[in-house]
Chains A and B, each alone.
Chain A
Amino acid sequence: NAGVTQTPKFQVLKTGQSMTLQCAQDMNHNSMYWYRQDPGMGLRLIYYSASEGTTDKGEVPNGYNVSRLNKREFSLRLESAAPSQTSVYFCASTLEGLGANVLTFGAGSRLTVL
């Protein structure tokens, strides 16, 4: 049982380049999330998808786009990377219900923008 799988694990980009971070979950979860983690800032929500075909902005969506390709996959795209987007990106998923939102996280994707 793989859980949440993120690719790539590491990436170095030059300013202005574009790239897509991929995320897939095999737990039949309906909701998926993208967070970024920066020193001193904790985890901040970029975008989330409550179900296939829907996406919503989180706290820090500027400079990013997302696609919920199907129930399993949720990708994050940087159209024109900036040094401020240097961060560790985490994908997470959950089976939303009436109770606490228990997230399962991937291992992270470390992105450096030069």
Chain B
Amino acid sequence: QKEVEQDPGPLSVPEGAIVSLNCTYSNSAFQYFMWYRQYSRKGPELLMYTYSSGNKEDGRFTAQVDKSSKYISLFIRDSQPSDSATYLCAPGLNQKLVFGQGTRLTINP
């Protein structure tokens, strides 16, 4: 069993839709939970991160963590074509990050 599981997609939605991206993890010791965004042929870049269970909002993006069920979500409201990218979840423990496979998302105009 992989330490972090993420549906690779691809996921295709119309512009303006609410997008939900999800990961599950097996290590209950993870201390913080990150989301990276990767545009085609580019390196990943940090989108947001949170330490605790609950929601963290940043503009149109909301990261949600449920430690009891080991479930991580990223919600994108009012999705835009510029949000088309691969999204990688990455829970971390101390200085170690474990990356999910990434979900490829396409927002259609």
Contact = CB atoms under 8 A, between A and B. Distances in A.
A104 B96 CA distance: 14
A31 B96 CA distance: 12
A53 interface: no
Interface residues of B, number: 24
B92 A101 contact: yes
Contacts of B4: 42
Given A102-B34, A102-B46, A108-B43, 12 more contacts: A40-B8, A42-B6, A42-B88, A43-B44, A100-B49, A100-B92, A101-B94, A101-B96, A104-B46, A105-B44, A106-B43, A107-B43
A103 interface: yes
Contact of B45 (A40, A42, A105): A105
B97 interface: yes
Q: Which size bracket describes the interface of A in this complex?
A: 20 to 34
Interface in B41-97: 41-46, 49, 51, 88, 92, 94-97
A105 B43 contact: yes
Sorted nearest first, the 10 A-B pairs with minimum C-beta distance are A105-B43, A43-B99, A100-B32, A42-B101, A42-B99, A101-B95, A105-B44, A107-B43, A100-B49, A106-B43
Which among B8, B43, B99 has the highest number of chain A CB atoms within 10 Å? Answer: B43
B109 to A, nearest CB: 26
Of residues A4, A101, A107, which shows the largest number of chain B Cβ atoms within 10 Å of its Cβ? A101
B95 A43 contact: no
Overall SS of chain A's interface? loop
Nearest to B100: A42
A96 to B, nearest CB: 6
Given A40-B8, A42-B88, A43-B88, A101 B97 contact: yes
Contacts of B95: 31, 50, 94, 96, 101
B56 to A, nearest CB: 12
A90 B43 contact: yes
Interface string A31-50: 10000000011111000001
